Amino acid sequence: MDAAKVIQEGRATLGIEFGSTRIKAVLIDPGCNPIAQGSYKWSDSLVDGLWSYGIDEITKGMQECYADLKADVLKRYGVPVRKLAAIGVSAMMHGYMAFEEDGSLLAPFRTWRNTNTGAAAKELSSLFVFNVPLRWSISHLYQAILDKEEHVPQIKYLTTLAGYIHWKLTGRKVLGVGDASGMIPVDPATCDYNAAMVEKFEALVAPCGFPWKLSGILPQVLPAGADAGTLTAEGARLLDPSGELAAGIPLCPPEGDAGTGMVATNSVRERTGNVSAGTSSFSMIVLEKDLSQPYDKIDIVTTPDGHPVAMVHCNNCTGELNAWVGLFREFAALMGYPERDDLFERLFTHSLEGDKDCGGLLCYNFLAGEPVVGFTEGRPLFVRSAGNGFTLANFFRMLVYTSVGALKMGNDILFVKEGVKVDRITAHGGLFITKGVAQRYLAAALDSPISVMETAGEGGAWGIALLAAFRVMNPDGLLLPDWLDKCVFAGNTGLEVAPTPEEVAGFNAFMARYEAGLPIEEAAVRFK
């Protein structure tokens, strides 16, 4: 397919995802193949003790990312980007963005990473008889009420980061059902907020006398493929200040990174699942039936087309691993070695030479709190005994193991206790870019074959681009799972790796040490 012609004719589709450390844009052709990309690095910061991204940084990051995409297109194909077939926006799920009447942000954006909402989440979980995680929007809202924050009575609109960006681009206050299910529980039967839970919440806060009701401040919920509006003239100028991009482009419902991960791995059908691993990690298993009971380590969300999903979300994944690689890079520079682009690949590959139980080494990657193991704060920590196999291969293997340690604890509930069945688990995200390493370790952790596709590094930006394409390129009216099977993946299930019994035993030995050592982490958290 002539990519330059596709772009000039406005037949390319754009996906933009706001991740924890990077905003990424992917442009795809009508065959859903990536043809250009752009990115922008950013990081959160503590504002009044809470993790946040500045509202101006959100806009700047989007514009810089899109400008980087345009530069990539110009370099590759020598043409400008003036028209697009469709646009999709996704972002980190959950969190808290509350706005007043004039559209001003009432409090700094509170991200999924914050763990200050324990009291609210506990009370709401009891009220709903449903696990309400710390990071969900409803937890943040109720915690603000419990804390008697002054801004609460002024709220006119509450949304997520993806919902906010979509609103600014289209003027529409809507949200994809998958992202909406991380605000307050969604009823799969109606593909809308759970009416009984909304009613319970409104009754709970009625004595406060707020001039709003929850049902009046939430975004409208839309399933995948629905009309979510078009790019306005103001939105076009916001995305592309140069004025080259035309208005009127259709947008798909904005989604969270969990939903885009499911799409990017073709894991929206029952008995399929995926694992996304980057700054944070999560697994998503599409359920055939409800779990026997609520679990505080398992979130029930939905696919972008509204089917229930068991989600294990971990706040920490590659952050500590990345920090150690930075230290190795600094050492290499000190010794006079030039900067190497393959440092990650070399360290990952070398870890395969390590012992299957990491030689007895132990570490925790908790840069932030980790609710799956019960910590509201975290301390990165490395522990060893004098007799352990303290080698570079064991050390780096340990760093990768611990990146999915908490994830394994949550999934053991699904596969061991609940007996959930899954036909295919697909992994994606930065942890899996080096072929056959983290994929093999994850297979050992979950005692299940794991597939990784060639698009593993594309992640959610490609996933939301696919949802945007589904919005405008589905003339036969196929359901999302069927459209992905027929029009995108066409039988491609990626490269599968199955664990050996020795690898499973080795990871289990590491996890026995991991769980036994949690009191050490608890003591470290107490140490200020």
**Scanning the structure block, which residue is given the tokens 């600094």?**
330
pLDDT tens track for 421-449 = 998 899 988 899 899 999 999 999 999 99
Picking from 87-91, 208-212, 311-315, which range would have the lowest pLDDT averaged per residue?
311-315
Looking at every residue in the chain, the average pLDDT score rounds to 95
Global pTM? 0.86
Task: Please tell me the predicted confidence (pLDDT) of residue 371.
Answer: 85
453: pLDDT strictly greater than 90: no
Task: Please tell me the predicted confidence (pLDDT) of residue 391.
Answer: 98
78: pLDDT strictly greater than 70: yes
Question: Burial level of 476, CB count in 10 A (0-12/13-18/19+)?
Answer: exposed
CATH topology assigned to domain 266-452+498-528: Nucleotidyltransferase; domain 5 (3.30.420)
Residues 297, 134 contacting (CB under 8 angstroms): no
99: pLDDT strictly greater than 80: yes
Task: Please tell me the predicted confidence (pLDDT) of residue 457.
Answer: 53
* pLDDT (average), residues 249-257: 97
178: pLDDT strictly greater than 90: yes
* pLDDT (average), residues 443-460: 82
- Strand ranges, E, within 424-523: 424-428, 450-452, 495-497
pLDDT tens track for 266-305 = 999 999 999 988 888 989 999 999 999 999 899 999 999 9
459: pLDDT strictly greater than 80: no
User: Residue 122: CB partners within 8 Å, gap ≥ 6?
Assistant: none
Q: Do 266-452+498-528 and 94-159+184-217 have the same topology in CATH?
A: yes
Query: In the chain, what percentage of residues exceed pLDDT 90?
Result: 88
pLDDT tens track for 214-244 = 999 999 999 999 999 999 999 999 999 999 9
According to the 3-state scheme, what is the secondary structure of 96-112? EEEECCCCCECCCCECC
- Strand ranges, E, within 85-177: 86-91, 97-99, 157-159, 174-176
Helix (H), strand (E) at residue 226 = none
458: pLDDT strictly greater than 70: no
Number of residues written out for the chain: 528
The tokens for 414 are: 């699904």
**In the chain, what are the domain boundaries?**
94-159+184-217, 266-452+498-528
Q: What is d(CA 240, CA 247) in angstroms, rounded to the nearest whole number?
A: 11
User: pLDDT grade, residue 490 (50/70/90)?
Assistant: confident
Output 112 or 392, whichever has higher pLDDT.
Answer: 392
Residue 25: strand pairing partners:
16, 38
Task: Please tell me the predicted confidence (pLDDT) of residue 521.
Answer: 96
Output 454 or 369, whichever has higher pLDDT.
Answer: 369
Q: What is the CATH number of domain 94-159+184-217?
A: 3.30.420.40
Helix (H), strand (E) at residue 429 = none
User: Residue 50: CB partners within 8 Å, gap ≥ 6?
Assistant: 108, 110, 114, 116
* pLDDT (average), residues 193-199: 98
Residue 167: what are its φ and ψ, rounded to 5°? -60, -45
* pLDDT (average), residues 452-472: 85
Picking from 352-366, 396-410, 484-498, which range would have the lowest pLDDT averaged per residue?
484-498
* pLDDT (average), residues 50-73: 97
User: pLDDT grade, residue 382 (50/70/90)?
Assistant: very high
What is the radius of gyration, based on Cα positions, of the chain?
A: 22
* pLDDT (average), residues 111-124: 93
